[in-house]
Amino acid sequence: MLILRSLAFNILFYVVLVAIMTVLLPTIMFGPDKVKAAARVWGRASLWLLRVVCGTRVEFRGLHNIPEDGGFIVASKHHSVWEVFALITVFKDFTYVLKRELTYIPLFGWYIARGRQIPIDRSKGRAALAQVARRARVILAEHRQLFIFPEGTRRPPGAPPDYKFGAAFVYADVKVPCVPVALNSGLFWPRRSFIRRPGTIVVEILPAIPPGLSASEFLPLLQGKIETASERLLVEAVAKDPSLAAGLWREEVVAAS
């Protein structure tokens, strides 16, 4: 049943995505706000579909920690594609730092361009960081939110942290608060797998880190906050459903050794 539900969801997920992008394509002519409204339709539809087909719900904690005014950075743990569409449903505005290759996808790439997201060529190293910082200053001056995955790519739940310097570089440059986000989505939506497990994904929005720290001070603080909270959410989920422990990175290592 798990396999059949997962298969059905994955088919419907992409059918719905293509349908939304096609039907709402005219929104790209009316500026980034309309494009982002279309993206939220996709996010809410995907969460609804996941709940109905797979029995996978979401609980957002700490919504009161989202600043009401001004631009800020959102630095999130990254387990899967799930958080890409789920997080945009609870923030007023969003601009993702994302890999350039996503802009090559038909239709999807058009929405990225018109939504004023920030695609980067990760092979360019510090030059790419400088580009992000320049774009970020403009975005944050408009009281928008800059979304960054500080590990740079998806990581399996429970894997050792691998935080990159890029998030600290941008934080130190733009001098705005940073809101850390912890989650346990990888237990229910594993990376590189079509399986979607039932249960409740928990996202915890943590208190903002104020501006003014150096990059070297900020990065270990950010990592500590996100990792501590994410570990707690993993333990909480596995305590409710021990079968989820099979999705932890540590057990994968034991099985392979």
* pLDDT, tens digit (0-9, with 9 covering 90-100), for 143-154: 889 999 999 889
What pLDDT was estimated at residue 98? 81
HSE-CB at 240 with a 13 A cutoff on CA atoms is: 11
Q: Please determine, for residue 62, whether its predicted confidence score (pLDDT) is greater than 80.
A: yes
Nearest to 205 by CA among 57, 61, 71: 61
Tell me the three state secondary structure of residue 88: helix
Closest CA to 72 of 93, 99, 87: 93
Q: Report, as an integer, the average pLDDT of 107-128.
A: 79
Distances (CA, A) of 233 to 77, 122, 228: 12, 30, 9
Q: How far apart are CA 21 and CA 15, in angstroms?
A: 10
What is the pLDDT at residue 254? 34
User: For residue 100, what are its two tokens?
Assistant: 């350039």
* 8 A C-beta contact, residue 156 and residue 79: yes
pLDDT of residue 229: 97
pLDDT at 257 over 60: no
Closest to 108 measured CA to CA, from 124, 92, 91, 84: 84
Give DSSP secondary structure letters for 102-162. GGGSTTHHHHHHHTT-EEE-GGGTHHHHHHHHHHHHHHHHTT-EEEE-TTSS---TTPPP-
Residue 40 pLDDT class (50, 70, 90 cuts): very high
Provide the 10 A C-beta neighbour count for residue 193: 12
Percentage of residues in the chain having pLDDT higher than 90:
61
pLDDT for residue 51: 98
- Residue 120's SS3 state is strand
Mean of the pLDDT values across residues 161-188? 94
Q: Using 50, 70 and 90 to split pLDDT, how confident is the model at 255? A: very low
